[in-house]
Amino acid sequence: MKTSTLSQFLSSVTDKSSPHCVRTSDIIMTIALAGKMISRQVREVWLDGMVGETGETNVHGEQVKKLDEFANEVFVELFRRNGLVGTLISEEMGEPVQVGGDELAEEFLLTYDPLDGSSNIDVNVTIGSIFGLYRLPKDEPSANLLLQPGKNLIACGYALYGPSTNFVFWSPNTSVCGFIADMSIGEFRLTDENIKIPDESSIYSVNEANYPNWDKATQEVVDYLRVGRKESSTRYIGSLVGDFHRNMLKGGVYLYPGTVANPEGKIRLMYEAAPLARLAVAAGGKAIDGQQDLLEIVPDSPHHTCPTIIGSSKVVDEIREIYTKSKK
């Protein structure tokens, strides 16, 4: 059966009388184009000699992969050329970057992780790009303008580079929608118009090697997930977007807690945790940092980090209860 392409789908749900709605759809189409360009390079990475590191470190002190750099440049160049957004915040750039555009563009902030899971590039494991789109309020002081909580997202999603290339997004005019790239025509085709996360699941995704470094409450949570529930199954890729995608479709919970030494964890709020949290909530799931809803957290910097727990609503509720009791 013939299905809608992404461009056809967006055209059908966009209010053509609203410049902001039209602009949002155009931005989503540009992100999808970036995903196709990055996907192509991921598939050719070994042939093009783009395996390995650049020798540089990013703002987080991490080694930058050659493909990290390529993916970030794809986003920057596309939006610099089309002028659809005013500001970009990326995992690979220390400071927000102004990319120009018209007066309308100045109202839009795009945050993104150009290549999540890049440590898996060299071993051909699923990786992806995560994005969040904010419409900036005009009445906030300029110093705080870019530091928006996840509840203010107007669109978010990810591209996933695995056996197929997937594009999943949410906006106020849609449910959580899934598309798969049809390479024969160079377009994303609609596969699911209303993705819902199962309320319950036996699957949990966490790096249990960190167990000795967690506080008592987090250890109690993982002990409960492993042996305290009727059924238990661990699935952990080590790629946030890959683990999230599987749990979104199959049910489950993803955890990246803080440690005693680093209680704020490693997941970046504005371009990793918040966009995926907004997707999860729109799909019927929940997202917390242990007790607080992730979408309520106001970042104190563009690269703010937070403990991250996202997934099936009943499981997240059980985890929150354990943390709440432990903190009393």
Q: What is the CATH number of the domain that holds 309?
A: 3.40.190.80
User: Do residues 226 and 176 both lie within one domain?
Assistant: no
Residue 227 lies in a domain: yes
User: Do residues 188 and 55 both lie within one domain?
Assistant: yes
Structural domain tally of the chain?
2
Single-letter amino acid code for the residue at 140: E
> Mean pLDDT across the stretch 48-63?
73
Confidence label for 2 from pLDDT (cuts 50, 70 and 90): low
Residue 198 lies in a domain: no
pLDDT above 70: residue 34: yes
Selected residue with higher pLDDT from 55 and 319: 319
pLDDT above 60: residue 141: no
User: Do residues 165 and 263 both lie within one domain?
Assistant: no
User: Do residues 80 and 209 both lie within one domain?
Assistant: no
What's the rounded Cα separation, in Å, for the pair 293 and 286? 8
**pLDDT tens digits along 203-244:** 999 999 999 999 999 999 999 999 988 888 999 998 999 999
User: Do residues 26 and 150 both lie within one domain?
Assistant: yes
Residues near 283 by beta carbon (within 8 Å), at least 6 away in sequence: 170, 175, 176, 195, 196, 197, 248
Backbone angles phi, psi at 20, to 5 degrees: -70, -40
User: Do residues 130 and 226 both lie within one domain?
Assistant: no
Asked if residues 296 and 281 have their Cβ atoms less than 8 Å apart, the reply is no
Burial of 179: CB neighbours in 10 Å, binned 0-12, 13-18, 19+: buried
**pLDDT tens digits along 249-268:** 999 999 999 999 999 999 99
User: Do residues 152 and 129 both lie within one domain?
Assistant: yes
Residues near 92 by beta carbon (within 8 Å), at least 6 away in sequence: 58, 64, 68, 69, 72, 114
> Mean pLDDT across the stretch 291-307?
96
What's the rounded Cα separation, in Å, for the pair 128 and 167? 10
CATH number at residue 18: 3.30.540.10
pLDDT at 270: 98
pLDDT above 50: residue 1: no
What's the rounded Cα separation, in Å, for the pair 226 and 175? 32
pLDDT above 70: residue 84: yes
What's the rounded Cα separation, in Å, for the pair 158 and 275? 9
**How high does pLDDT run on average in the chain?**
92
| Exposure string over 41-56, b if 16+ CB within 10 A, otherwise e | bbeebeeeebeebeee
Of the residues 165, 192, 219, which one is the last residue of a structural domain?
A: 192
pLDDT above 90: residue 3: no
pLDDT at 4: 93
Range(s) of the domain holding residue 13: 6-192
Its pTM stands at 0.94
Confidence label for 63 from pLDDT (cuts 50, 70 and 90): confident
H/E stretch holding 316 reads helix 313-327
pLDDT above 50: residue 93: yes
> Mean pLDDT across the stretch 89-109?
92
pLDDT above 90: residue 181: yes
> In sequence order, what are the beta bridge partners of 130?
113, 158
> Mean pLDDT across the stretch 164-189?
95
What's the rounded Cα separation, in Å, for the pair 164 and 121? 15
What's the rounded Cα separation, in Å, for the pair 217 and 74? 41
User: Do residues 146 and 281 both lie within one domain?
Assistant: no
Which range has the worst mean pLDDT, 51-55, 210-214, 275-279, 316-320? Answer: 51-55
Residue 237 lies in a domain: yes
Both structure tokens of 328: 């009393």
User: Do residues 78 and 120 both lie within one domain?
Assistant: yes
Which range has the worst mean pLDDT, 56-70, 76-90, 177-191? Answer: 56-70
User: Do residues 127 and 238 both lie within one domain?
Assistant: no
Give Cα separations from 220 to 77, 223, 233, 244, 293 (angstroms): 46, 5, 17, 22, 20
pLDDT at 139: 67
DSSP letter at 39 equals: H
Residue 48 lies in a domain: yes
pLDDT at 262: 92
Strands (E), the chain: 53-57, 63-65, 87-90, 97-98, 108-116, 127-135, 153-161, 165-170, 177-182, 187-192, 203-205, 233-234, 253-256, 286-288, 308-311
> Mean pLDDT across the stretch 154-183?
96
Q: Is 92 helix (H, G, I), strand (E, B) or coil?
A: coil
